[in-house]
Amino acid sequence: MPNFASRESISPPPPPRPQVSSSMLDRMRSDLRVQFIHGLESSPQGVKAQLLARHFTARTPAMDTRDFAASVRAQAEALREFDPHVVVGSSYGGAIAVELLQRGLWRGPTLLLAQAALRRGQPAVLPAGVAIWLVHGTRDAIIDPEDSRVLARSGSPEHVRLIEVDDVHALHTTVEDGRLVAWIEELISEARR
């Protein structure tokens, strides 16, 4: 009589992974809330704000860029109301995002684009344990890319990523070629792990 107990049990193969259609991907993206903090030369109707609104549930709060403290208050209030998955700050908006992080008003994933925090005289300090990615164009003639290098070194190495790209301050190429959207998705995904 055969000994069936000695046979290895064979598990059925895992089910095939579902294919993700572009419309399904668009729906998944639209579930991601992104708060965009624009720069001095931009607005809630700017190119980056419009791009983010096309791909995500995005909010770009209006602010008086002549008043840094009022801008920080406006963004902090928007954070409380909107509860985003990620904050994206561009140039002056990056300085505001850094201020929100330094004050503990935001502790979530943050993408800083050509941030201007050090140029404004803010301390080069990022909070520990927060996923923060800094993107800076190596041909930026407005904010020295070294500012982002210095700021990146101040955060938790396992959570901070510095991405240098062949681009100018406004990061036109980076926005147009889709990397900005991809980085936001990747940052959120990494922060959820």
Evaluate if residue 29 carries a pLDDT over 80: no
**Where residue 193 falls among pLDDT bands split at 50, 70, 90?**
confident
Model confidence over 37-54: pLDDT tens digits?
999 988 989 999 999 999
pLDDT over 60 at 8, yes or no: no
Residue 192 has a pLDDT of 84
Question: What are the backbone angles phi and psi of residue 85, rounded to the nearest 5°?
Answer: -80, -30
Summarised one tens digit per residue, pLDDT across range 140-176 is 999 999 999 999 999 999 999 999 999 999 999 999 9
What's domain 29-192's superfamily in CATH?
Alpha/Beta hydrolase fold, catalytic domain (3.40.50.1820)
pLDDT for the residue numbered 22: 45
pTM of the model: 0.85
Residue 55 in this model has a pLDDT that exceeds 60: yes
Q: Name the token pair of 56.
A: 């995500």
Residue 4 has pLDDT above 60, yes or no: no
